[in-house]
Amino acid sequence: MAESKAQVTSEQESRQVAEQARETVWAGRTFLREVFLGNFLLPLIHPFPMDNGERPEFTKFYDELETFLREKVDSVAIDETGEYPDHVIDGLRKLGAFGMKIPKEYGGLGFTV
């Protein structure tokens, strides 16, 4: 089945928005970068810095994600097979995990920090 020009354009626009949301410059030290350099800097991630104060929409997302991961995801099976089951991908999609940094006007959650 051939894709219509509108579908291709929409997909291209979606990809462009996703690419624009990606970090391009890494300022300062990051936890993962330091881990790869052999430095475990716990203060970079704990306690998690919340510059903007409490955000109810993020707290709701976090709680739902935590529940989903604890109750529906078998991380040992994923480690053993190297594959993510369809129900895990679908669950993460439904939660909005793949669009956390995508602006709300494009269907994402709009989280920036």
Q: Model-level pTM?
A: 0.55
Distance CA 4, CA 8 (A): 7
DSSP 43: G
**pLDDT, tens digit (0-9, with 9 covering 90-100), for 44-75:** 777 766 565 678 888 899 899 999 999 999 99
| Domain boundary assignment for the chain | 1-46, 50-113
pLDDT of residue 36: 82
